[in-house]
Amino acid sequence: MSIPSLHIIGSREMGGAERWFVRFLRAMQGRGEPVSALVRSGGDLASHHLARIPSAELPMRTVWDPVSRWQVSHHARASHAPIVQTYMGRASRLTHLKPGRGQVHIARLGGYYALHPFRHAHAWIGNTKGLCDWMIQGGLPADRVFHITNFADPPKAVAPATLAALRRQIDAQPDDWLMVHPGRFVPVKGHANLLAAFAALPAEIGGRRLRLVLLGDGPLRAELENQAKESGIGDRIVWAGWQQDPAPWLALANMIVFPSRDEETLGNVILEAWAYGKPLVCTAFRGAREIAEAGRDAWVVPCGDAPALAEGLRVVTADATLQGSMVAAGHRKVVDRFGEAAIIGQYRDLYAQLASGG
């Protein structure tokens, strides 16, 4: 039985969590589940990403604004959705539903946030086991904390003409080796470490020119551009900016790099690399330790270790056999453990359980 659900997020800009939000709602909708969204007025989600998903907008000014809290909570109650799922701090703190009124408030955490703003929810979802264990250790009831990981989107087909135009746009030569990193320019993503590692590499490996493509934007951009300039690698980097649709860039990549710090909870980029059949070099952050197998489906190095990251990039770039084996293992893992049908099935079961009073 389908359970209607309302999904609330208060972000203004797009990032990994917001991309997951859209991907999840579209997958639910595509499998016949009645979903709707409440998002922040004027934000990127409202402007660009919710076509054909029933949605509404509210200002969600600050977590301390009593008007915003009343508006969000009233909208949730008026929706009569048995399941109201909130994402991250702003939406969760603004949503207050009384238990026993026919609605269950699920707070979905995608990071190790302070738990106080989430304790008023009725149930909690964590996308890694480590995050769920941490919530329970923080005092949330174990029988109301649920582990459901993310699923990987199937790779989008990209027309050869589109890829050719993209290569011309960035002046990529046929033999260039393109290392692509998607991620906002914020500290947790480890961009400074990546630039230091890239600066330690030669300009070419095996006759192939090395290029680093950064898909993102954010508060650290000027600092990172200055680091690249001082390191003498500015002309080897493509600053592609934030991409509403990263699919063409993922298809164009020869390798995906994900150098996050340990605080990174899951890292959807790992799943995207596997789904798109790209060799992956990443750090051993919390989420990667749960899902990546070093040397099998990813080349994994310690967080913050630029020399080790540089060596990983060099080894994988130079070894076509290793690339092929990692790509094959990553593809199998996506199919077996991170398929859309399996994850949506877990959400359906949980919604049914909680809506029935379980």
Give the model confidence (pLDDT) of 256-314 as tens digits: 999 999 999 888 899 999 999 999 999 999 999 999 999 999 999 999 999 999 999 99
Higher-pLDDT residue of 357, 273: 273
**pLDDT of 267:** 83
Nearby residues of 31 by Cβ (< 8 Å), 6 or more positions away? 341, 344
Q: Which residues, listed in sequence order, are joined to residue 300 by a DSSP beta bridge?
A: 282
Cα 238 to its chain centre, rounded Å, is 21
136, with CB counted inside 10 A (0-12, 13-18, 19+), is middle
Q: What is the pLDDT of residue 63?
A: 92
CA atoms within 13 A on the CB side of 302: 5
CB atoms within 10 A of CB 113: 16
Banded pLDDT at 125 (limits 50, 70, 90): very high
| Antiparallel, parallel or unpaired: β 123-126 and 55-58 | unpaired
Instruction: Report the pLDDT value the prediction gives residue 101, as an integer from 0 to 100.
Output: 86
pLDDT at site 110:
85
* Predicted pLDDT of residue 14: 85
Q: Average model confidence (pLDDT) for the chain?
A: 95
Structure confidence by residue, pLDDT tens digits, 10-39: 998 888 789 889 999 999 999 999 999 999
User: What pLDDT, on the 0 to 100 scale, is given for residue 251?
Assistant: 97
| Segment 61-76, tens digit of pLDDT | 999 999 999 999 999 9
Block residue for tokens 């951009």: 221
pLDDT at 239 over 90: yes
Q: What is the pLDDT at residue 54?
A: 95
Q: Where are the beta strands (DSSP E) in 116-207?
A: 123-126, 145-147, 177-182, 204-205
State the sign of the Cα–Cα–Cα–Cα dihedral 114, 119, 121, 125: positive
Alpha-helical segments (H) within 80-159: 88-94, 129-137
Burial of 185 (0-12, 13-18, 19+ CB in 10 A): buried
Judge whether residue 358 has pLDDT over 80.
no
Cα distance between residue 295 and residue 323, in whole Å: 10
Mean of pLDDT values over 136-163: 94
Q: Is this model's pTM higher than 0.95 or not? A: no
Give the pLDDT mean for 323-350.
Answer: 94
Domains of the chain: 5-151+339-355 (3.40.50.2000), 160-337 (3.40.50.2000)
Per-residue pLDDT, 111: 86
Residues 155 and 251 sit within 8 Å (Cβ to Cβ):
yes
For residue 87, the model assigns a pLDDT of 96
Token output for 12: 């203004």
Count the alpha carbons within 13 Å of 139 in the hemisphere toward its beta carbon.
6
CB 298 within 8 A of CB 330: yes
Beta bridge partner(s), residue 182: 215
Q: Is the pLDDT of residue 1 over 80?
A: no
- Position 84 confidence tier, pLDDT thresholds 50, 70, 90: very high
Element (H, E) at 85: strand 83-87
| Average pLDDT of the residues in 160-187 | 96
Q: How confident is the model at residue 159 (pLDDT cuts 50, 70, 90)?
A: very high
- Phi then psi for 194, rounded to 5 degrees? -65, -45
Reported as a pLDDT band with limits 50, 70 and 90, residue 46 is: confident
**pLDDT (0 to 100) of residue 203:** 97
> Among 79-88, 94-103, 312-321, which is the least confidently predicted range?
94-103
